[in-house]
Chains A and B, each alone.
Chain A
Amino acid sequence: MTTAVQARKSPRKPWTPSQIILTLIGVAVSAVFVAPIAAALFTSLKSEAEAAEIPPHWLPEVWTVQAWKALWETGNITNWFINSLVVSVCVTSVVLTVSALAGYGFARTEFRGKSVLMGIVMSGLMISPAVLGVPLFTTVQQMGMVDTYWGMILPQCAPAAMVYILYKFFQGVPRELEEAAFIDGAGRWRVFFTIVVPLARPSLAAVGIFTFIASWNNFLWPYMVTNNPDLMTMPNGIATVMNSYGIQWAQLMAGGLMAGLPLIIVFVFFQRQIVAGVAHTGLAGQ
C-alpha cells in the first residue's frame, strides 16, 4: 500500500525556480490560446443585441441561452450534425479499409507493375481537391453525384498520405511472423487479418483519428459539391447558411462551438493515443 502511494508520488518533483517560471509562461501562453474559444463561448451566452454592442465586453451582462435555443429551433443544425456524422464515419471506415489493404499490398506482396503503381500513388500526395477542384467537380458531376452523400464521401476516400503511413509501418513488421504462418498453411488474407492488422492497431488508430478530424472539419469539398442546405455538413452549413441570414454573432458562435465540440471531446479522451499515434505513424521519426 505504502509503496504504491510512494510510487505515485515520486514523479512529482519539487517546484524549482525554473519550473515556476516555465509554468507561469505556460499559463500565459495557454491563456492566449484559449481566449478566442472563451470569447466565443461568452458571446454565445449573450443576447444578439448584447453581442453586437459597442464597445464590446468579454463577459455577458445578462447570461442567456437564447442563442443556443434559437439554433435548435430555427436552424438545420441537427441535419448538418447528422450529415457530418454520416460523412465522417463513412470516410473513416472506407479510408481505414482501403489504405490498410493497399499499404500492406505495396509493402509485402509482389505483383506486376508494383513499383510503377507505388510511384503514381505517391505523386497523388500532391493532388487535393484544392489543387484540382474544378476538374474533380466536373468528374463528380458527370457521375451524377452532385448533392448526394456519395459525392461528398467518395472523393475524400483516396488519400495517398494514409497509404504511405501504413506502408511504412507494414514494412517494419518482421517477415518471420508471417512466414511461420504461411508454412503452417495460412493464406495471405488470413495472415493479414489475424497477424498483421492486430499488430498495426496503434497506426490504424492514428490514421483513423486523423482521417476523422480532417473529414469532420473539411469545408472546401462539401462546399463545392452541395447546394442543398439539407445535405450540408456542419462547417459548411454554419459558414454559408448562417452567414447568409446576416450575421447573428451569438448564434454563429454557438453553432461553431457545437461543430467543434465532438472533436474536442474525442481529443480529451484519446489524447494519449493521439500523441502516441503521431510518434507511431513514423511521421515524427522521419
Chain B
Amino acid sequence: MTTSAHMTTGAVAAPARARTAAATATVRRKQGFQHGGWFVAPFLALFVLFVIWPLLRGVYLSFTDANISGDGASFVGLDNYREALGDSAMWDALGHSAYFTLLVVPCITVLAFLLAMLAHHIERGKWLWRLCFFVPFLLPSTVAANMFQWLFTQGIGLVNETFGLDTPWLTDKSYAMLAIVIETLWWTVGFSFLLYLAALQGIPDHLYEAAKLDGANAWHRMVHITLPMLRHITGLVIALQILASLQLFDQAVVMMDFGPGPEVSTRSFVQYTLEQGFTSYRVGYASAMSIIFFVIIAVVALARMWLLRTREEGGR
C-alpha cells in the first residue's frame, strides 16, 4: 500500500515542474513547518488519550492485582500472564473466537462475492438488490441478534416452524455457535458485498469484450479476468473479516441472554475478558488478557501485511 503511494508522488514530481521546483520547495517547506503539526494535533490528542494511554495503562495494570476501583493495587510481576496462560477457560474462549472466525470468514467471502456477481449482472432493479443485501448491516448488532434469538427459539421461533424442524438452536452446545454464525452471515455480509460490487463496477468493460472476441466463454472470463481483478478486494475482505470476527462479542452475548451459552460453548475472548474485569472485578487479570489479545491481533495483522508484501514483490 505504501509502495504504490510513493510511486504516484514520485511519478508526478519528476519531470513536469523542474523549473519551479526550487521555488515551490521552499514555499512548501516553510508553510509545512509552520502548520503541519497543527493539522494532526487534534487527532493526536484524542488518539493519545483514548488509544495509546489506555494501551500503556493496560500494560502497567497487567503487572498488578488492581481491582475495579484502582485502589491498593500492588505489583505482582508476571503472575497474571502466568495464570492466564494456564487458564483453560481463557483458552476455551480463545478457541470459540477462533472457531467462529474460521467458520465465518470463508462463508462471508464466498457469499459476498456471489451476491455481488448476482447484483452486478441483473440488469433491472439494481437498487433493489443492493437494498435487500445491505439492509441487515444497517441494523444495530443487538437488534439483529434479538431478531435471530427470537427466530431460533425452540417452540415460538419461525425457523423451526418454517423448515419443519425441532432443533434446539440456542440451548444445545452443538448448535449454539452455528446459530450465531448464521446470524452473523445475514447481518454482516452486506458490507463485503458492497466492497465487491464497487470493485466489479471498476473492472473495465473492454477486457471482457476483448476476451469475448478471443472466444472465451463465461467461465473463462470469470477465472481469467474477474477473479484476478478482484484479488486485492478479496484480500481486504478477508483481512477485515478476520479482525472483526476475532472480536466477536455483541451477537453472542445478546443471543445467549448475556450468558456464556449452553455449557459455556459460545463465550468469546472479549466476553471472558470483560467478565473478569467487570463481573469479577479483576482489572489486573483482565488487562493481562487484553494485552494478550492485542498481541494476537497484531500478529494476525502483521502476518497479513507480510503476506501481501511478499506476494506483490513476487508478482512483479
CB < 8 Å: which of A121, A124, A135, A217 contacts B61? Answer: A135
The distance in angstroms between the C-alpha atoms of A131 and B297, with both chains bound, is 8
With A56-B157, A188-B31, A275-B130 already in contact, the answer to whether A104 and B24 are too (CB < 8 A) is: no
Interface string of A213-246 (1 = CB under 8 A from B): 1001101100010000000001110111001000
Contact in complex: A34, B5 (CB < 8 Å): no
The distance in angstroms between the C-alpha atoms of A160 and B129, with both chains bound, is 32
**Contact segment of A2-10, A60-68, A69-77, A251-259:** A251-259
Asked if B100 is at the interface (CB within 8 A of a chain A CB), the reply is: no
With A176-B17, A220-B249 already in contact, the answer to whether A260 and B142 are too (CB < 8 A) is: no
CB < 8 Å: which of B5, B132, B243, B294 contacts A30? Answer: B132
Asked if B206 is at the interface (CB within 8 A of a chain A CB), the reply is: no
Q: Which residues of B contact A123 (CB under 8 A)?
A: 298
The distance in angstroms between the C-alpha atoms of A264 and B135, with both chains bound, is 7
Q: Which residues of B contact A97 (CB under 8 A)?
A: 42
Asked if B155 is at the interface (CB within 8 A of a chain A CB), the reply is: yes
Interface string of A242-286 (1 = CB under 8 A from B): 010000010011001101100110011001001100110001111
Asked if A202 is at the interface (CB within 8 A of a chain B CB), the reply is: no
Q: How far is the CB of B29 from chain A (nearest CB, A)?
A: 6
Contact in complex: B201, A110 (CB < 8 Å): no
Residue on A nearest B194 in the bound complex, by CB = A278
Asked if A130 is at the interface (CB within 8 A of a chain B CB), the reply is: yes
Q: Which residues of B contact A40 (CB under 8 A)?
A: 147, 150
CB < 8 Å: which of B5, B29, B53, B202 contacts A168? Answer: B5
Contact in complex: A172, B158 (CB < 8 Å): no
Interface string of B269-280 (1 = CB under 8 A from A): 010011011100
Interface string of A121-144 (1 = CB under 8 A from B): 101111110111111111111100
Asked if B93 is at the interface (CB within 8 A of a chain A CB), the reply is: no
Contact in complex: B161, A56 (CB < 8 Å): yes
Q: How far is the CB of A204 from chain B (nearest CB, A)?
A: 15
Asked if A1 is at the interface (CB within 8 A of a chain B CB), the reply is: no
Contact in complex: A127, B42 (CB < 8 Å): no
Interface string of A159-181 (1 = CB under 8 A from B): 01001000010011011100100
Interface SS of chain B: helix
Q: How far is the CB of B157 from chain A (nearest CB, A)?
A: 7
**Contact segment of B44-52, B170-178, B219-227:** B44-52
Q: How far is the CB of B14 from chain A (nearest CB, A)?
A: 12
User: Which of B5, B32, B144, B146 has most A Cβ within 10 Å?
Assistant: B146
The distance in angstroms between the C-alpha atoms of A237 and B129, with both chains bound, is 31
Interface SS of chain A: helix
Interface string of B20-44 (1 = CB under 8 A from A): 1001100111011111111110111
CB < 8 Å: which of A39, A109, A183, A279 contacts B39? Answer: A109
Contact in complex: B290, A259 (CB < 8 Å): no
Asked if A23 is at the interface (CB within 8 A of a chain B CB), the reply is: yes
The distance in angstroms between the C-alpha atoms of A86 and B112, with both chains bound, is 33
The distance in angstroms between the C-alpha atoms of A139 and B57, with both chains bound, is 8
Residue on A nearest B42 in the bound complex, by CB = A98
Q: Which residues of A contact B127 (CB under 8 A)?
A: 271
With A33-B132, A36-B148, A54-B156 already in contact, the answer to whether A124 and B47 are too (CB < 8 A) is: yes
Asked if B101 is at the interface (CB within 8 A of a chain A CB), the reply is: no
Q: Which residues of A contact B29 (CB under 8 A)?
A: 110
Asked if B254 is at the interface (CB within 8 A of a chain A CB), the reply is: yes
Contact in complex: B50, A155 (CB < 8 Å): yes
Asked if B58 is at the interface (CB within 8 A of a chain A CB), the reply is: yes
Asked if B54 is at the interface (CB within 8 A of a chain A CB), the reply is: yes
Within B42-100, the residues touching A (CB, 8 Å) are: 42-44, 46-47, 49-55, 57-58, 61, 66, 68, 70
Asked if A195 is at the interface (CB within 8 A of a chain B CB), the reply is: no
Asked if B307 is at the interface (CB within 8 A of a chain A CB), the reply is: no
Residue on A nearest B114 in the bound complex, by CB = A29
Contact in complex: B133, A30 (CB < 8 Å): yes
Asked if B216 is at the interface (CB within 8 A of a chain A CB), the reply is: no
With A19-B123, A271-B130, A284-B199 already in contact, the answer to whether A133 and B46 are too (CB < 8 A) is: no
Closest 10 CB pairs of A and B: A105-B39, A109-B36, A135-B58, A235-B140, A102-B43, A256-B143, A239-B142, A111-B36, A134-B277, A30-B132
